[in-house]
């Protein structure tokens, strides 16, 4: 009984009668229609809110569009202006500086924690949960608390530093030199628990036999870490680095709430500069802001393409 | 190396691990502890030298007066409306589209999915301006609908549900088809009931990110009567920067619902984020 359907389908494959072939085309059309109805409710929103705006962005960057919707064609003038705009240069420098510190710092902190926690210990489960919590807490609340903790005179952090014997603790968010480090500290605090979870998942995949074998061969803890753990963690490390980079490029809300880019322009980042050009500065210039946006867009695309290429190569 | 040496080394490593984890926990929790402690003080007691770790006296009035001194009830109501609608739409459209991507074969499907993937890395700030112009032209500026639209159709939900659907054996689909169930029937009667963990993850993560959203409301909502808790709190901080205790009370209230959800469903949070590695 079980063989009958198989035979029937084999026969059909040999000589499809005309009606059967037509119904195949019909089936394809039917599947296409059904497939689209599944995707459509989400796709309409996705197209209107994400795809069309991204396409419009490029056109907008070639005009001097303003908040009232008036626009003239500017060609590449907006892009030329970028070369002489010192605020843009500051924002770019700050964003790159932020990324250059945030990425290694967060990687080191989260990987270090993951390695510490990757053993049988009392309270590990609780700690994992707690470590993840800052990641889902609202930026406004986080910024409010940290701003108070960073308060130069009576804040928790400076009182602690003075207790340690440091006589002139930094002014943090009130100082042009220390406002960026303050933001970096908060961001590392926010993200490290989340990346730690990803690293912990990666550590579970490291075969214990490899560690045992290396130990037999007399490899010390550091050697085992370098030659056994790290190679096994390479995919996770790569993924975390990409995520960190993307998040570094889009850092904005925390900066906006904690320092508003200040003092001066010491924490002005690209995303915030776009915001300022479009919605804060008078007269607003959507066209020029769009040109800065295109630069940000291109930067994040480069990161994504690198990720894609490296992943492909690994699969090959 | 003798056995005793190795043992000593293990013990000291273990002690080091405990100390390091304890320090890290303090660092992670201190801001939250400080938030709660300060919300239970008078304004003058928040910044003291030395720090007052236990409120003296305990002040609970802040939690009462914040509801009369600010528009807190309105903020909470607005945030709830937005978060619930966003979550419903995201879960529905996300899982529906995921079924199309995971189980239907039709021309253009893979290109379309690539477009979804491509936008994941694009920062919202890079296209917020054309989006703002468009939503305003559609008459949605200064309405809740703008915020709902902004959040409800993210690619995140599609990813999460698609990867979960793909872990369900296709033989179930075929069996259901033979039994005469339509594709929509399969989605509703088979795929959804089997995907409860993924749906829970998506629900929690979407609700949290809608609750915490700050930039969208700041850009679109001008009427005070439409403000969400984040935007209300932020404005309160700007206007009454010396009311430290009250600010911390507001912060606690804005974090509290998230904390409750998080501890009730922590498993789903962790799984959801680990599956896709991205947040909405």
Share of chain A above pLDDT 90, in %: 28
Least confident among A101-105, A195-199, B16-20, B76-80: B16-20
What residues in B contact A53, CB-CB < 8 Å? 127-128, 130-131, 134
Classified by CATH at the fold level, domain A85-315 comes out as: MetI-like fold (1.10.3720)
Confidence of residue A4 (pLDDT cuts 50, 70, 90): very low
What residues in A contact B132, CB-CB < 8 Å? 278
CA pair distance A171, A259, nearest whole angstrom: 13
Rg (CA), chain B: 24
CA pair distance A146, B241, nearest whole angstrom: 14
Query: Burial, A153: exposed, middle or buried (Cβ in 10 Å; 0-12, 13-18, 19+)?
Result: exposed
CB A286 within 8 A of CB A211: no
Count of pairs with CB atoms under 8 A, one residue in A, one in B: 263
Confidence of residue A315 (pLDDT cuts 50, 70, 90): low
What residues in B contact A113, CB-CB < 8 Å? 21, 24
* 3-state DSSP assignment of residue A2: coil
* pLDDT by residue, tens only, chain B of 280 residues: 455 566 666 777 778 888 888 888 888 889 999 999 999 988 887 787 777 788 888 888 889 888 988 889 999 999 999 999 999 999 999 999 999 999 888 888 999 998 888 887 888 889 999 999 999 999 998 999 999 999 899 888 898 899 889 888 888 888 898 888 888 999 998 899 998 888 998 998 899 989 999 999 999 999 999 999 999 999 998 888 888 889 999 999 999 999 998 888 887 877 776 665 443 3
Share of chain A above pLDDT 70, in %: 92
pLDDT digits (tens, 9 = 90+) for B194-213: 988 889 989 988 999 899 99
* 3-state DSSP assignment of residue A187: helix
Which of B26, B82, B123 to mutate against chain A (most A CBs within 10 Å)? B123
Which residues of B, range 240-259, sit inside 8 Å of A by Cβ?
Answer: 244, 247-248, 250-252, 254-255, 258-259
What residues in A contact B263, CB-CB < 8 Å? 129
Closest Cβ opposite residue B214 in set A36, A48, A140:
A140
Q: Distances from the Cα of A145 to the Cαs of A156, B182, B249, in angstroms?
A: 11, 53, 11
Kindly tell me the sign of the dihedral angle through the C-alpha atoms of A253, B236, B61, B84.
negative
The Cα of A35 is separated from the nearest Cα of chain B by a number of Å equal to 5
Residue ranges per domain, chain A?
Answer: 18-60, 85-315
pLDDT at A10 over 50: no
Looking at chain A, which residue has its C-alpha nearest residue B97? A39
Query: Burial, A174: exposed, middle or buried (Cβ in 10 Å; 0-12, 13-18, 19+)?
Result: middle
Task: Give bridge partners of residue A73 from the DSSP assignment.
Answer: A63
CA pair distance B123, A17, nearest whole angstrom: 54
User: CB atoms < 10 A from the CB of A210, how many?
Assistant: 15
Contact B105 A35 (CB under 8 A): yes
Contact A198 B93 (CB under 8 A): no
Looking at chain B, which residue has its C-alpha nearest residue A67? B133
CB contact B67 to A (< 8 Å): no
| Mean pLDDT of all residues belonging to chain A | 84
CA pair distance B280, B89, nearest whole angstrom: 14
Contact B277 A193 (CB under 8 A): no
Query: Can you tell me the ipTM of this complex?
Result: 0.87
DSSP A284: -
pLDDT digits (tens, 9 = 90+) for A228-274: 888 888 888 888 888 888 889 988 889 988 888 878 888 899 999 99
Contact B123 A249 (CB under 8 A): yes
What residues in A contact B137, CB-CB < 8 Å? 69
Confidence of residue A169 (pLDDT cuts 50, 70, 90): confident
Alpha helical stretches, state H, chain A: 3-14, 18-46, 52-60, 77-82, 86-117, 124-132, 139-149, 156-163, 179-203, 208-216, 221-224, 230-249, 253-258, 270-275, 286-315
Contact B104 A38 (CB under 8 A): yes
Highest mean pLDDT among A4-8, A242-246, A287-291: A287-291
Closest Cβ opposite residue A54 in set B127, B211, B234:
B127
Kindly tell me the sign of the dihedral angle through the C-alpha atoms of A168, A169, A170, A174.
negative
CB A92 within 8 A of CB A171: no
CB contact B106 to A (< 8 Å): yes
Residue ranges per domain, chain B?
Answer: 3-39, 62-276
What are the phi and psi torsion angles at A15 (to 5°)?
-140, 95
pLDDT at A92 over 70: yes
User: CB atoms < 10 A from the CB of A62, how many?
Assistant: 19
CA pair distance A17, A19, nearest whole angstrom: 6
What's the gap between Cα A69 and its chain centre?
32
pLDDT given for residue A2 in this prediction = 37
Task: Tell which CATH architecture fits domain B62-276.
Answer: Orthogonal Bundle (1.10)
User: In terms of pLDDT, which residue wins out, A124 or A296?
Assistant: A296
What residues in A contact B181, CB-CB < 8 Å? none
Q: Distances from the Cα of A162 to the Cαs of A158, B50, B197, in angstroms?
A: 6, 11, 49
pLDDT at A5 over 50: no
Which of B94, B108, B130, B131 to mutate against chain A (most A CBs within 10 Å)? B130
Contact B258 A138 (CB under 8 A): yes
The Cα of B134 is separated from the nearest Cα of chain A by a number of Å equal to 8
CA pair distance A248, A242, nearest whole angstrom: 10
Mean pLDDT computed over A55-78: 84
């Amino acid at each position: 009984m079980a063989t009958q359907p198989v035979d029937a389908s084999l026969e059909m494959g040999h000589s499809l009668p005309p009606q059967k072939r037509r119904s195949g085309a019909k089936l394809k059309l039917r599947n296409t229609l059904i497939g689209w109805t599944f995707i459509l409710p989400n796709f309409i929103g996705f197209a209107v809110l994400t795809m069309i705006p991204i396409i419009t962005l490029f056109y907008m960057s070639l005009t001097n569009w303003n908040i009232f919707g008036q626009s003239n064609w500017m060609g590449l003038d907006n892009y030329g202006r970028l070369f002489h705009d010192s605020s843009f240069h500051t924002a770019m420098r700050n964003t790159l500086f932020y990324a250059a510190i945030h990425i290694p710092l967060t990687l080191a902190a989260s990987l270090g924690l993951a390695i510490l926690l990757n053993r049988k210990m009392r309270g590990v489960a609780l700690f994992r949960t707690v470590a993840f919590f800052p990641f889902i807490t609202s930026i406004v609340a986080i910024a409010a608390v940290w701003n108070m903790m960073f308060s130069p005179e009576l804040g928790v952090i400076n009182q602690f530093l003075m207790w340690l014997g440091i006589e002139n603790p930094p002014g943090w968010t009130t100082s042009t030199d220390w406002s960026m480090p303050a933001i970096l500290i908060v961001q590392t605090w926010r993200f490290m628990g989340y990346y730690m979870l990803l690293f912990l998942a990666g550590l579970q995949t490291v075969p214990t036999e490899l560690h045992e074998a290396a130990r037999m061969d007399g490899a010390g803890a550091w050697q085992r870490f370098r030659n056994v753990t790290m190679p096994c963690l390479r995919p996770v490390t790569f993924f975390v680095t990409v995520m960190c980079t993307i998040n570094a490029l889009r850092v904005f809300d925390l900066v906006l709430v904690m320092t508003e880019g200040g003092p001066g322009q010491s924490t002005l980042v690209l995303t915030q500069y776009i915001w300022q050009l479009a919605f804060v500065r008078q007269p607003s210039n959507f066209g020029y802001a769009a040109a800065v946006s295109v630069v940000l867009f291109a930067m994040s695309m480069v990161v994504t393409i690198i990720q894609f290429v490296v992943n492909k190569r690994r699969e090959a | 190396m003798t056995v005793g040496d190795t043992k000593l080394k293990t013990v000291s490593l273990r002690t080091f691990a405990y100390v390091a984890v304890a320090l890290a926990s303090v660092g992670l929790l201190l801001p939250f502890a400080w938030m709660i402690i300060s919300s239970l003080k008078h304004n003058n007691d928040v910044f003291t030298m030395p720090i007052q770790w236990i409120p003296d006296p305990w002040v609970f009035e802040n939690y009462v007066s914040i509801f009369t001194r600010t528009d807190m009830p309105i903020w909470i109501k607005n945030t709830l409306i937005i978060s619930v609608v966003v979550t419903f739409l995201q879960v529905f459209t996300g899982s529906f589209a995921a079924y199309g991507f995971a189980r239907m074969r039709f021309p253009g499907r893979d290109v379309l999915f690539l477009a979804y993937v491509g936008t994941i890395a694009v920062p919202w700030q890079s296209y917020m301006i054309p989006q703002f112009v468009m939503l305003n032209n559609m008459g949605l500026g200064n309405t809740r609908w703008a915020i709902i639209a902004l959040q409800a159709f993210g690619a995140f939900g599609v990813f999460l549900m698609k990867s979960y659907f793909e872990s369900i054996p296709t033989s179930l689909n075929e069996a259901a088809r033979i039994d005469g169930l339509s594709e929509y029937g399969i989605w509703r009667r088979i795929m959804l009931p089997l995907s409860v963990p993924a749906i829970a993850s998506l629900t929690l993560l979407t609700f949290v990110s809608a609750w915490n959203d700050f930039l969208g409301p700041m850009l679109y909502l001008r009427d005070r009567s439409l403000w969400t808790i984040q935007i209300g709190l932020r404005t309160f901080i700007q206007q009454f920067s010396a009311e430290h205790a009250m600010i911390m009370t507001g912060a606690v209230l804005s974090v509290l619902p998230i904390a409750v959800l998080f501890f009730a469903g922590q498993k789903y949070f962790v799984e959801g984020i680990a599956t896709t590695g991205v947040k909405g």
